[in-house]
Amino acid sequence: MYQLEEKTYFYYFAVIAALFLAFLLMSLWKKQKQKAFSNSKLLHKLSPETSPFKSFFKTLMVALALSFLIIALVNPKMGTKLKTIKREGVDVVFALDVSKSMLAEDIAPNRLEKAKQIISKIIDKLASDRVGIIIYAGNAYPLLPITTDQAAAKMFLQNADPNMVSSQGTAINEALKLAKSYYDDDEQTNRYLFLISDGEDHEENVSYIADEATKEGIKIFTIGVGNADGGPIPIKRNGKLIGYKKDREGEVVMTRLNDETLQKIASEGNGTYIYGNNTTKTVDYINDLLLKADKTEFETKQFSDFKDQFQWFIGLGILFLVLDAFMFNKKTKWIQKLNLFNEQKEK
């Protein structure tokens, strides 16, 4: 296992490529000028000890030296051993409603962005807890399996939108079913499911499935976003509003927060319903809840004790610079005796 500390230095290889190209162009220019000045035999007599290959090898030595020095700047690190790190925490899964009703702007900037904001701020306050994300509309999909990589969780979260699901609707029961299989049975951590939605559920048996999830040790908390007055569902193209969603009669569809459904799910799931329009209060409440939760020890394995390897590349870079310094443009006597290129000797 290895790591590259400063990858941006790889761009310096473009400089080496440019220098090598300049050398080739310069060599071609010199040959053309030499031909214009005299023929090759006369030039050989004027400078018989000049090697036509040494300048290329010297340039190659400098290029290799600079390449190794650039790699040294990147600072490759090697993992010297695999270490098992014990951690304590709970498993937190967020089920995020990404149906089009979540685009309603009855809460700024809209319900979906408010929900993302809440989840992101909760993740920021997690310690060694593991986190997973489910998205759902007409169907439920795993966006991110349970992981300790909270930075990855926030990155995946930002990409969640209605276009990621194939069918529309608000199938809360599908999200609950998926959540039941989301946790690791081999590591019996405390399990928390936070379902964030406007509560517009178009499926049945939600209470039954919530009760089944509770029997498997999952505590279900629901967070409602939106308000009772509701609002229309905007239709946008390239970020510009072009209209609002209408029903078959041509009337603008109004979507409203249905907190009754969310309260019922939380009640069946041994949890609490939270009105999520105030981000700070919602995040603080959930943070206190998780801080007071009993932590279960679990293990994660990762490479640790990474050691710097830049010194080897500095050594190779210096070696090639030294070789370049001791390499002259004149022909080498013992190489001449080998006659590698079957050169004819002058009579």
pLDDT tens digits, 280-325: 999 999 999 999 888 877 766 665 667 788 888 999 989 988 888 7
**Based on the domain organization, do 296 and 313 belong to the same domain?**
no
**Of 51 and 340, the one with more pLDDT:** 51
**Of 298 and 254, the one with more pLDDT:** 254
**Based on the domain organization, do 20 and 164 belong to the same domain?**
no
**Based on the domain organization, do 98 and 125 belong to the same domain?**
yes
Q: With 80 as the cut, is the pLDDT of residue 228 above it? A: yes
Q: What is the pLDDT of residues 148-201, one digit of tens each?
A: 889 999 999 998 988 888 777 667 888 888 888 888 666 667 899 999 999 876
Query: Phi and psi of 245, rounded to 5°?
Result: -65, 135
**Based on the domain organization, do 193 and 233 belong to the same domain?**
yes
Q: With 70 as the cut, is the pLDDT of residue 40 above it? A: no
**Based on the domain organization, do 137 and 271 belong to the same domain?**
yes
- Encoded tokens for 112: 């979906």
Is 346 inside any structural domain? no
Q: With 60 as the cut, is the pLDDT of residue 346 above it? A: no
**Based on the domain organization, do 326 and 276 belong to the same domain?**
no
What's the domain range around 69?
A: 2-75+309-338
**Based on the domain organization, do 6 and 124 belong to the same domain?**
no
pLDDT of residue 341: 46
**Based on the domain organization, do 173 and 296 belong to the same domain?**
yes
Is 343 inside any structural domain? no
Rounded distance, CA 310 to CA 319, Å? 14
**Based on the domain organization, do 52 and 94 belong to the same domain?**
no
Is 80 inside any structural domain? no
173 CB burial (10 A radius; 0-12, 13-18, 19+): buried
pLDDT of residue 42: 60
Q: With 80 as the cut, is the pLDDT of residue 31 above it? A: no
**Based on the domain organization, do 289 and 171 belong to the same domain?**
yes
Number of domains in the chain: 2
* CA separation, residue 93 to residues 56, 147, 174 (Å): 61, 10, 14
Is 347 inside any structural domain? no
**Based on the domain organization, do 49 and 106 belong to the same domain?**
no
Cβ-proximal residues to 59 (8 Å cutoff; 6+ apart), any chain: 19, 20, 23
Angle of the 310-325 helix axis to the 54-74 helix axis, nearest 10: 160
Name the strands in the sheet holding 273-275, side by side, starting at the edge strand that comes first in the sequence: 140-147, 130-136, 91-97, 191-197, 218-224, 273-275
Model confidence band, residue 219 (pLDDT cutoffs 50, 70, 90): very high
**Based on the domain organization, do 102 and 198 belong to the same domain?**
yes
Model confidence band, residue 257 (pLDDT cutoffs 50, 70, 90): very high
**Of 261 and 120, the one with more pLDDT:** 120
Is 163 inside any structural domain? yes
Is 261 inside any structural domain? yes
Q: With 60 as the cut, is the pLDDT of residue 82 above it? A: yes
Q: What is the pLDDT of residues 98-110, one digit of tens each?
A: 999 999 999 989 9
Is 182 inside any structural domain? yes
Rounded distance, CA 89 to CA 129, Å? 4
Q: With 90 as the cut, is the pLDDT of residue 41 above it? A: no
CATH number at residue 137: 3.40.50.410
Q: With 50 as the cut, is the pLDDT of residue 117 above it? A: yes
Is 273 inside any structural domain? yes
Over residues 122-141, the mean pLDDT reads 90
pLDDT of residue 302: 61
What value does the mean pLDDT of the chain take?
82
Model confidence band, residue 275 (pLDDT cutoffs 50, 70, 90): very high
Q: Are strands 2-4 and 76-89 parallel, antiparallel or unpaired?
A: antiparallel
| DSSP 8-state symbol, 86 | E
